[in-house]
Amino acid sequence: MGFSTRISAVLAVAALTVAGLAGAVGADAAGRPMAADLRLIAFNDFHGNLAPPAGSSGRVTLPDGNTVDAGGAAYLATHVARLRGESEHSLVLSAGDNIGASPLTSALFHDEPTIEFLNRIGVAATTIGNHEFDEGYQELRRMQSGGCHPADGCQFRPRFHGSRFPYLGANIAFDSGAPAALPFTIKFASGVPVGVIGVTLKDLPSVVTPEAVEGFTFGDEVAALDRTSRLLDRVGVRTQVVLMHQGDNTEGGGPDDCRTVPGPARRIATAASASIDVFFTGHSHQQYNCVVDDPDGNPRPLIQGSSFGRLLSVVDLKIDKRSRDVLRAETVAHNEIVTRTVPADPEIAALVDEASAKSAPIANRRVGTISADLVRAAAPSGESPLGDVIADAQLAATAGNQAQVAMTNPGGIRTDLTYASSPAGEGDGVVTYGETFAVQPFGNITQTVTLTGAQIKAVLEQQWQPQPNGTTLTRFLQVSSTLTYTWSRSAGQGDRVSDIAIAGQPLDPAATYRVSVNNFLAAGGDGFTELAKGTDLTGGPVDLDAFTAYLSANPNLSPPAPTRVTVIP
């Protein structure tokens, strides 16, 4: 039976199962409560962070601006167990990117330890995120169904059984139009069916390499949600929950603030079917707890729990057993901080220790030293110390390609490089291979292309990307020391960048230059389509190898001065 055929069969069985319950749910005996309580516990963008993440990636910002250490699989498991114990019925859910861009303790074993962790805490369903496609569709299927890696075999355990939960993607299809993933799954609370719908961002092809999504289409989120919601309505599933790998950005605030910048998540959550009761979101790695109105004017939660297992998004529902629908006025939502002051779950702690021990010979190898934290947080100009270093590393690594400039995307920089010693005890200022892998886990290949000066200007202008809702998405490229420029806050689209210089000389629009980027950017990723027009492409080393080589060649490295990019009113 083919995969799409199996999906169709599962949908048919689900429909028959729910239809068979019609008329039975409301037949409670006299005196029994006519409302069911259901607690939904969700997280997003875990990215294989089994050990507590370091630096800013392991802290949660509070409403007063202070921070608290958070995250770590063993602590997350303890919080989940307590939250589940407080409610008669509960579901643990994920809004995607459970794997991919993971630290070495998970990535070295193709994220198999992370899947084991998710199984053990009882995840009931996840949507598919863009990073689930990092190694292509066949690897995603292996994550679901199990089996050893086709090239590396089973390195973590002798066997890999896969996930015990479904991966959902109502808007993912093969080019033929056949579904490539289950659109929904059905769970039950006190006999009441609960439909869990999954969608991923329709722009997923723009944030992964082209070969990873060849043969697939990613449809409009609202259209997919409406279509799936109608199907659930027809078979009597009135309680509907969405796991959506799409999110908004915020202007700060604490875990339960709603200071979002209007973006795709809010647009989708206000437009999609009024039958949907809750939206769990992801992808943007933000913390917010909002309420939006559905098309009928009724409120529903729109919530996201940061990333890396630092927050759990908790939504408590009260469901009318007769109508099978949520009593929206009684919905309560909050983001729970995964503090490290609770006891670590011993079973999960043992799993993490096993992964850490097996990866230690590689992870703890010393590759360099630094004199202070190298952070990925950007200055108002968009420039960050860690971004500067990585761009300089890629320029140095591609000197043989006659590279004059290097640029890298901020989304490829996953965490800070901290001065303080890790728990492995390598010593303050010592940088290990595992720490550099956590910073750059994608294994992208550096490539050098030829661009005209006019094209370089166009690339820099593409850092500001107009969105369909009238807002602008800003993605600041991190640039090598050989490139300087100024940008204006008040200038219009396409006219923000000026005073561009390469190696101290003004940019000549008609001249050609050799520019190094990673293969993701070279293919036009993150909206930098101008880079895909480059010519004379020459390959270089893997970005992580370039980074570690640069650290080795520059001991006691200090954060560069932020002088490459200047911002003016």
pLDDT value of residue 360: 94
pLDDT value of residue 30: 44
pLDDT value of residue 469: 79
pLDDT at 96 over 90: yes
DSSP 499-560: EEEETTEE--TTSEEEEEEEHHHHTTGGG-GGGGG-EEEEEEEEHHHHHHHHHHHSTTB-PP
- Which residue, 2, 14, 95, is CA-closest to 313? 95
- Element housing 334 (H / E): strand 332-337
For 223, the token pair is 């259209």
Question: How many whole angstroms from its chain centre is CA 35?
Answer: 35
Query: What average pLDDT does this structure show over 211-240?
Result: 97
Query: What average pLDDT does this structure show over 556-569?
Result: 97
DSSP 42-91: EE---TT--SPPPGGGGEEE-TTS-EEEB--HHHHHHHHHHHHHTSSSEE
**Segment 353-370, tens digit of pLDDT:** 999 999 999 999 999 999
pLDDT value of residue 424: 84
Residue 428 near residue 378, CB atoms below 8 Å: no
pLDDT value of residue 554: 98
pLDDT value of residue 459: 98
pLDDT value of residue 282: 97
**Segment 230-288, tens digit of pLDDT:** 999 999 999 999 999 999 989 899 999 999 988 899 999 999 999 999 999 999 999 99
pLDDT confidence tier of residue 330, bands split at 50, 70 and 90: very high
What do you get for the CA distance between the two ends of the chain, in Å?
62
pLDDT value of residue 33: 62
pLDDT value of residue 1: 40
pLDDT at 489 over 50: yes
What is the DSSP pairing of strand 216-218 with strand 172-174? antiparallel
Q: Which fold has domain 364-568?
A: 5'-nucleotidase;  domain 2 (3.90.780)
Query: What average pLDDT does this structure show over 417-444?
Result: 93
Residue 255 and residue 258: Cα distance in Å, rounded?
Answer: 9
| Segment among 23-32, 145-154, 195-204, 512-521 with least mean pLDDT | 23-32
- Which residue, 93, 43, 31, is CA-closest to 72? 43
pLDDT value of residue 22: 45
Alpha-carbon distances of 259 from 95, 141, 266, 312, 407, rounded to whole Å: 20, 37, 12, 18, 31
pLDDT at 227 over 60: yes
The mean pLDDT of the chain is 93
Residue 471 and residue 251: Cα distance in Å, rounded?
Answer: 14
pLDDT value of residue 527: 93
What kind of architecture, by CATH, is found in domain 36-337?
4-Layer Sandwich (3.60)
Residue 310 and residue 201: Cα distance in Å, rounded?
Answer: 22
pLDDT at 26 over 50: no
pLDDT value of residue 2: 42
* pTM for this model (two decimals): 0.88
pLDDT at 449 over 50: yes
pLDDT at 473 over 80: yes
**Segment 171-196, tens digit of pLDDT:** 999 999 999 999 999 999 989 999 99
**What percentage of the chain has pLDDT greater than the value 70?**
94
Match 């033929």 to its residue by tokens: 176
Residue 202 and residue 249: Cα distance in Å, rounded?
Answer: 17
| Segment among 220-224, 404-408, 444-448 with least mean pLDDT | 444-448
pLDDT value of residue 468: 82
pLDDT value of residue 120: 98
pLDDT at 21 over 70: no
pLDDT at 134 over 80: yes
pLDDT at 25 over 50: no
pLDDT confidence tier of residue 111, bands split at 50, 70 and 90: very high
Residue 462 and residue 494: Cα distance in Å, rounded?
Answer: 8
pLDDT confidence tier of residue 27, bands split at 50, 70 and 90: very low
Query: What average pLDDT does this structure show over 432-454?
Result: 95
pLDDT at 198 over 80: yes
pLDDT value of residue 3: 44
Residue 230 and residue 236: Cα distance in Å, rounded?
Answer: 10
pLDDT value of residue 24: 41
The region, left, alpha or beta by phi > 0 then psi within -120 to 50, assigned to residue 541 is beta
pLDDT value of residue 10: 56
Q: 196 has which bridge partners?
A: 185, 241
pLDDT at 31 over 60: no
| Segment among 75-84, 297-306, 520-529 with least mean pLDDT | 520-529
pLDDT confidence tier of residue 15, bands split at 50, 70 and 90: low
Query: What average pLDDT does this structure show over 27-41?
Result: 74
**What percentage of the chain has pLDDT greater than the value 90?**
89
* Domain locations in the chain as residue ranges: 36-337, 364-568
pLDDT at 8 over 80: no
